[in-house]
Copies of this chain bind each other. A is one copy, B any other.
């Protein structure tokens, strides 16, 4: 059994939902040494998050942004945590509705995603900057 761990930084993305599957695969070559295992992708932030969804049509990512902006609005009358700007409290809520950590099976050295699955970086701040990710792979 082997374990590999690496911290990476994603480039800064604008607010919205962004496909980062190939970025992660390329940054973590050790994946190829694992025949059967699991990869965890963990984001060390509370105003950006991760999810797995459709990797083909960009309009899916646009609709994610529209729906999350409607479901978790800025300036809700009950927000008390408003000092860091109108996009901050919605960003925290969206982060928890999606995921801080994804686990993906590894099979024969590759992520065993379904045909239409990709990893999304969900950037909930207007100016979130570069985001730190911890990658951990375990298997044999």
Contacts and interface: CB of A to CB of B under 8 A. Distances in A.
A28 to B, nearest CB: 13
Interface size class of A (residues with CB under 8 A): 35 or more
Nearest to A17: B96
5 contacts: A37-B136, A42-B112, A44-B112, A63-B93, A112-B134
Given A3-B139, A59-B80, A67-B76, A53 B114 contact: no
A24 interface: no
A45 B114 CA distance: 6
A114 B44 contact: yes
A38 to B, nearest CB: 6
A92 B44 contact: no
B36 A3 contact: yes
A53 B92 contact: yes
A37 to B, nearest CB: 7
A72 interface: yes
B117 A134 contact: no
Nearest to A77: B66
A44 to B, nearest CB: 3
Interface string A45-64: 11000011110010110111
A63 B80 contact: yes
